[in-house]
Structure 1
Amino acid sequence: MRRLASGALTGILALGALTACAEEPGAGTSKGDGKPGKVAFLMPDLASTRYEQYDAPLFKKRMAKLCPDCGVIYQNADSDASLQQQQANSAIAQGAKAIVIDPVDSAAAATIVQTAQSQGVKVVAYDRPIPDKPADFYVSFDNEAIGESIAQSLVDHLKETRAKGGVLQVNGSPTDAAAGLIKKGIHNAVDDSGFDLLAEYDTPDWAPEKAQQWVSGQIAQYRGEIAGVVAANDGTGGGAIAAFKAADRKVPPVTGNDAEVAAIQRVIAGDQYNTISKPIRIVAEAAADAVHQLTQGKEPTADTELFDTPSRLFKPTVVTQKNLKEVIFGPDGVLKAEAVCGSRYAADCRRLGIQ
């Protein structure tokens, strides 16, 4: 596989199994004819807060600007691949001209692509690729680069601090092709780092509580030997940190990915070593642009190809305390200090110059 430039304010919405949340009913249902019509935006889970808080609203906003008469059918499958299949079928039945899908199960999603394309419905893979059946387009950050970046950042830090011991590797869901790319990237950095890989784990559904449970077992097994933890996203990183705190052990450097609010707070407090800034606005708007072009009979501009799919992939940025103020809170940042620096984090924010 070629290396390619690609991947906590709680308030999750409770979604009915097949209840569509559409903005504007949409005026047309013919495929690729340049007329306005419905677009489905199908997200994979509720374990990550980003989909409800950022991805869906940003995608809808961009679509409203590009095509005021188009309707957006938003659905979240809550980690259920069968439900996501039903949601896709429902969207097609409602006349969707295109589907943007972040798959629960990358292999199972091939059936969704096949069904949609057979009926003239365009498919954009979002964040997670679909290896077994090429979609019409793929939009994401470079997931392999994300894994390598967070792991190399941790390895460099461990060497600088002359840490002793080995590393735990907490991967994402085994059914997520993006998680597989992140996992590969982590190995690129860890395998020849000079630090032993003590153990690794593929976290079902990216569930933080499952990551926490596994790390708890490793803490008991490798007493005093864990120098750091490479976690594939902020949720699994948060689970790892919780495991050390529950065991009343000093938390070693732990990585993350997604720059969720809770993770940024952990970085500020020193509980989490790094995360990845990948502004969701970039991929959400790029997906909306691609969908709009496809439904107009045009070809979106790709910068590479992944799994035989024309792709637009963006470069991630590693965030630590050293560049946190500039990347997250600077002029082009994604957060405001007041959203993060509550009373619990006020002193640490002041120390880092975040106001």
Structure 2
Amino acid sequence: MDKPHRIRRRERRRRRAVPAALAAAGLALTAGLTACGNAAEVREPGTRVARDGRSIGLLLPDNTDRFDTFDRPLIERRIAELCRECRVEFASAQADVATQQQQVDAMITKGVRVLVLDAVDSRSLRSSVERAREAGIEVVAYDRLVEGPVSAYVSFDGEQVGRLQGEALLRALGDDARGGQIVMMNGAATDPNSASFKKGALAPLRGKVTIGKAYDTAEWRPVNAHINMSGAIASLGADNIDGVYSANDGLAAGVVSALKSAGIRPLPPVTGQDAELAGIQRIVAGDQYMSVYKPFRLEARAAAEMAVALVRGQAPNRVATGTVDSPTTRDIPSVLLTPIAVTAADIEDTVIADGMYTVEQICVPKFAADCERAGLTP
């Protein structure tokens, strides 16, 4: 166990419980839709698209830093490299299912040949995927496996993500894991990735720690994680939470804000995922123990290559490394990439070495002293 976390845990147990604060954090997603370009020819939904079409739709679930900074530009750039005649039609759903359903219909109307879809809700988008397929559109499921007749799937090994998180949390607890109590802040129940993360995390955690409270966090919203965590603190007591399994960095933000609002010092170890800039900065500051780095360049590259292959009438198998099954479709050609755990000791060799962030981006004045302690200097 890391010495600072051992000391903090003992200090936390020596002092009295701090009354839980239930104020919700004012965390919100950026508003505003990204407009799609005008198609040369407009078709009504349900009609078959032109087999020689070169338009690719890209529908992402929200405008978080990850999708705006990495996934979208990486996918668009790789498509442009592979297919000069291809055009990308983009829209963001702003984490709203109905909006994304309308966007799928708009892509059908525009006559896109292939749709790269990261579904807000994998079940609710099934009928949209079916309509797209009826119109002759090939669908590449991106990052999460949407239900319906998809042609290909690209993501990371979800169970391995969860295992990395669970194992890291046990390392942070060290000898105190035995008899320790944690809170599990899982992702949205409507996302199949959440089930994979949870299954992977429970493999090392089960039998080693007590799970005092577990939540499925609606819509992956940080504010919901804050509310859930505040409830856990009120129920379990501030001194009786030794660690928090948080499924991603967004939820970790909500968890940490709830812990701080309750006056809990020092903070217990908290996990995360996606290696968001804010998450990496929380790790440097000691507010979050770890994240999971998923090299988005590889994921975006595979999705772009599958989309271009399908545009050209080729099977995605030339890109796929295996197959997966969804609740509705079997043997989907897939690429499942390997995630990487990141703690303060790993930042320089992972996200900085891969060019995801620079030291200057991480070590803004607010975190300058923390960066110096962590050995991160420009």
Secondary structure in 2 aligned to 1:344?
helix
Q: How does 1:235-250 map to 2 (within 5 A)?
A: 235-250=250-265
- The answer to whether the 8 Å contact 1:101/1:124 transfers is yes
Partner of 2:197: 182
Secondary structure in 1 aligned to 2:182?
strand
CA distance in 2, matches of 1:158, 1:169: 15
Q: How does 1:19-98 map to 2 (within 5 A)?
A: 20-22=35-37, 33=51, 35=52, 37-46=54-63, 48-98=64-114
Structure 2 alignment gaps of length 5 or more: 1-26
Structure 2 residue 368 is the aligned partner of structure 1 residue 351: no
Q: How does 1:272-291 map to 2 (within 5 A)?
A: 272-291=288-307
CA distance in 1, matches of 2:296, 2:87: 21
Secondary structure in 2 aligned to 1:100?
strand
The CA deviation at 1:151 is 1.2
User: How well do the aligned residues superpose, as a CA RMSD in angstroms?
Assistant: 2.3
Distance 1:337 1:11, change over 3 A: farther
Select which of 195, 205, 209 maps to 2:209. 195
Distance 1:93 1:25, change over 3 A: closer
- The answer to whether the 8 Å contact 2:162/2:199 transfers is yes
Structure 2 residue 125 is the aligned partner of structure 1 residue 109: yes
Greater C-alpha radius of gyration: 2
The CA deviation at 1:26 is 7.1
Distance 1:281 1:116, change over 3 A: same
TM-score of the superposition, structure 2-length normalised? 0.84
Q: How does 1:1-355 map to 2 (within 5 A)?
A: 14-16=31-33, 20-22=35-37, 33=51, 35=52, 37-46=54-63, 48-130=64-146, 132-160=147-175, 165-192=180-207, 194-223=208-237, 224-250=239-265, 251-300=267-316, 301-307=319-325, 308=330, 309-330=332-353, 332-355=354-377
The CA deviation at 1:45 is 2.5
Alignment-mate amino acid for residue 344 of structure 1: K
The CA deviation at 1:163 is 7.4
- The answer to whether the 8 Å contact 2:166/2:204 transfers is yes
CA distance in 2, matches of 1:233, 1:246: 20
Residue by residue, what CA displacement relative to the aligned partner does 1:56-87 show, whole Å, maximum 9, x if unpaired? 12211111222222221111112221221110
Select between 225-234 and 274-283 the one with higher mean Cα deviation: 274-283
CA distance in 2, matches of 1:203, 1:262: 20
Secondary structure in 1 aligned to 2:351?
helix
- The answer to whether the 8 Å contact 2:142/2:155 transfers is yes
TM-score of the superposition, structure 1-length normalised? 0.89
CA distance in 2, matches of 1:347, 1:150: 27
- The answer to whether the 8 Å contact 2:226/2:254 transfers is yes
Distance 1:186 1:281, change over 3 A: same
Residue by residue, what CA displacement relative to the aligned partner does 1:166-197 show, whole Å, maximum 9, x if unpaired? 010001111111112112212222213x2101
The CA deviation at 1:350 is 2.0
- The answer to whether the 8 Å contact 2:179/2:210 transfers is no
Distance 1:167 1:13, change over 3 A: closer
Alignment-mate amino acid for residue 205 of structure 1: E
Paired-residue identity, % = 36
Aligned residues: 338
Partner of 1:5: none
The CA deviation at 1:268 is 0.6
